Amino acid sequence: MTLRHALAAIVLGMGLASAAQAVPGFAEVHAGWRSSDARVLDRHGELLQRVRVDLQVRRGEWIALADVSPALRTALVLSEDKRFYEHSGVDWRAVSAAAWGNLWNQRTRGASTITMQLAALLDEPGGDLQRGAGGRRFTQKIDQALTAQQLERRWRKDQILEAYLNLVPFRGELVGIDALSRTLFGKAAHGLNEHEAGVTAALVRAPNAKPRQVGQRACGVVQLMQPDTRVDCEALQILTTIALQSREYTATEGIAPHHARRVLAAEPGAQTVRSTVSAPLQRFALQTLQRHLRELRGRNVQDGALVVLDNASGEVLAWIGSSGELSAASEVDGVLALRQPGSTLKPFLYAQAIAERRMTAASLLEDSPAAIPTTSGLYIPQNYDRRFKGWVSARTALAASLNVPAVRTLVMVSPDAFHHQLDALGLPLREPAGYYGYSLALGSAEVPLLSLTNAFRTLANGGLHGEVGAPPKGAPALDPRAAFIVGDILSDTNARARTFGTDSILATRFWAAVKTGTSKDMRDNWAVGWSERYTVGVWVGNASGAPMWDVSGTSGAAPVWATVMQHLHAHTPSRAPRPPTGLVQARATFDGPGDSGPLEAARSEWFLAGTEQARFAMNTPARSETRAPLRIHSPAPGTIVALDPDIPPNRQRLTFTASGAGGRWRLDGRSLAQGQQLQWLPWPGKHVMQLTDARGTVLDEVRFEVRGAGVRERKSR
């Protein structure tokens, strides 16, 4: 009897008293396999994001044998089990050779086959087949051989090799061929060439060996694969050293990291989750945002966020939490971060005032200097243009984003009532109404982009509110008639023209309503609007809260909003909504004082039934003929001028007026001009404005302060 037959007989004899491990089926092993990453798919099944959820090991996808490169299959069999396709689980020739070598104290290759190694891999942690610190005991090896033979009887050879490639540990935390190939070589398993296959096979035998040892063994494996070719072992050693320096591939990979984490948090333990996001739209929106931020390079802006909602279902179609590689704080989710919304709250304020019949879209509001008392002084809102526009209609005031009329509207509505309205729209504010006061009209509260966009979706749905991800339901959160009128205003290019011009980036070739906004000190810039089917919200700024430099409402977020909205409607029309019942359309005229002509062109305007009227006029108070001493009429002493960062600094002016003509203006000791009125480009800081006579005698003076976004002094280079 040969040594090989004797060993086989011993194994079979001991097998009568030794219970081999229960062998699972291939399908059971495949079904029980878990990647260390969870996969978030888009609405059509395309991979959107891969997120690591198991921090103990790194396992990639289960790879079918057909998707493993032929070079790797060959390298593995040649290096680990030359007679893999010949034996039935145990290579008795290798066993006898190993036994003979051990008898003569010679170092020989181990006799463990791929099937035997797989048997150990399938055993539970701490099980009978697991290798101990001193190696496997003789009885363990017997059990391993018997289990391997059972595997060969139940599994096909291709199934054994496929399972082995997916379950074998390689280096460090890497388990399975997908994790290894993507980590060390940055490619899928089907793309491994012969040299990469040699390195991979070498790591099976010595996963934690030094790079030089791995390279030497890899060279030997490649020589087995290419017996008639001279192998460049030096080049292979370089490849090995470089590959082994790659510790791990990115813990999260894809185009929607922030959204993926939110989706996975809702389904803990899930390996694959399908979201409502559209991968093509997500990809386009991300590229658009990043491209625009690169164009703004040099203006101290690096972050942005974007969200697209389906109006009917509330589903999230795109969720860009940050600008990614452009951001120094890419982990911060800008869709959920609290930021000051600026003028984007105005549509809800005007809608509430119209719904409460405090005004109509044609009502006249005065856009003139106004000093609003606050705890820190007087607050004077500014507008886009160099001068206040005087009396304007509510339509013009909202579309052109005039600040003083908005504050006057909040005076009519009251901060408490407006605070309650915002809460009903899904914008719960952290502080009570009294904390914000009248500054609430200009967006001094903090809200997340997701909630703000969903509130605009309420306008798109005619005042019906629904949570994100759900259709609207219940009673209207906002009067449907007022919601329609506000949408009509925000889609009106002509009404917007007095501030933004008729060729503004906000004008689209299809029906859409949009509002921009910027917070104080130019820290946050917004553009939120809707079409017939979609609501899109964009934020641009810095995650750190640092102010941007000269980024206005139409140069920051608006271009991104317009590009994404145009993409959404490249092949889909967007029609204006139908007016709800309870609205009437009537012609309105706007008379100016005396013979000055109309304040605005006559037009057909929408009204809540019962509030319509044909003529709107303002009365100019009679001028006094009494000659009074020259005094500075405005601004008042102690004024704090808060500039609106939504306005380009060179388009803002502070108006100084005197009680009579003939005075000379002197600012901080420097003469400026002469006359009853002066337009001054605000400069941040504390200032003293004096009114003098021709001889330089000071007739009156006021001390005031300019805060917020103003003209910045350029530093010398």
| H/E run at residue 544 | none
Quick: pLDDT tens for 618-630: 754 333 333 456 7
The pLDDT of residue 383 is 57
The pLDDT of residue 273 is 96
pLDDT confidence band for 112 (50 / 70 / 90): confident
If one compares 47 and 100, the residue with the highest pLDDT of the two is: 47
Q: Is residue 556 within 8 Å of 548, Cβ to Cβ?
A: yes
pLDDT confidence band for 449 (50 / 70 / 90): very high
pLDDT confidence band for 290 (50 / 70 / 90): very high
Quick: pLDDT tens for 209-234: 999 999 999 999 999 998 888 889 99
Say whether 409 sits in a helix, a strand or coil. Answer: helix
Question: Which residue from 269, 295, 285 is spatially nearest to 334, judged by alpha carbons?
Answer: 285
CATH 3.60.15.10 fits 303-583, yes or no: no
Mean pLDDT score, 165-172: 92
Which overall architecture, per CATH, does domain 3-35+61-244 show?
A: Orthogonal Bundle (1.10)
The pLDDT of residue 434 is 87
Say which CATH topology domain 632-708 has. Answer: Immunoglobulin-like (2.60.40)
Average pLDDT, the chain: 86
| DSSP structural state of residue 201 | H
If one compares 280 and 501, the residue with the highest pLDDT of the two is: 280
The pLDDT of residue 247 is 59
- Which residues on neighbouring strands pair with residue 692, listed in sequence order? 664, 698
pLDDT confidence band for 372 (50 / 70 / 90): low
Crossing angle of helices 346-355 and 403-413, rounded to 10°: 40
Question: Is 107 a residue whose pLDDT tops 50?
Answer: no
If one compares 68 and 186, the residue with the highest pLDDT of the two is: 68
Q: What percent of the chain has pLDDT over 70?
A: 85
Q: What percent of the chain has pLDDT over 90?
A: 58
Mean pLDDT score, 186-209: 92
Q: Which two tokens stand for residue 404?
A: 């003083």
The pLDDT of residue 425 is 98
Instruction: Give the range with max mean pLDDT: 314-328, 490-504, 606-620.
Output: 314-328
Q: How far is CA 510 from CA 195, 396, 506, 564, in A?
A: 57, 21, 11, 13
Say whether 29 sits in a helix, a strand or coil. Answer: helix
Mean pLDDT score, 458-474: 97
Q: What's the rounded Cα separation, in Å, for the pair 675 and 483?
A: 46
Quick: pLDDT tens for 677-711: 888 888 888 999 998 888 888 888 888 888 765 44
- The region of weakest confidence among 98-102, 198-202, 252-256, 604-608 is 98-102
The pLDDT of residue 617 is 86
- Across the beta sheet with 677-680, the strand order is 632-634, 654-658, 677-680
The pLDDT of residue 163 is 95
How is the chain split into domains, by residue range?
Answer: 3-35+61-244, 36-60+251-274, 303-583, 584-617, 632-708
Question: Is 464 a residue whose pLDDT tops 60?
Answer: yes
In the numeric block, the tokens 């997908």 are attached to 178
Q: What's the rounded Cα separation, in Å, for the pair 64 and 383?
A: 65
If one compares 690 and 137, the residue with the highest pLDDT of the two is: 690
The pLDDT of residue 54 is 87
- The region of weakest confidence among 32-41, 50-59, 83-92, 163-172 is 83-92
Mean pLDDT score, 484-505: 89
Question: Which residue from 153, 76, 171, 86 is spatially nearest to 117, judged by alpha carbons?
Answer: 76
Crossing angle of helices 211-225 and 233-244, rounded to 10°: 130
Question: Is 647 a residue whose pLDDT tops 70?
Answer: no
Pairing of strands 252-254, 598-608: unpaired
Mean pLDDT score, 117-143: 68
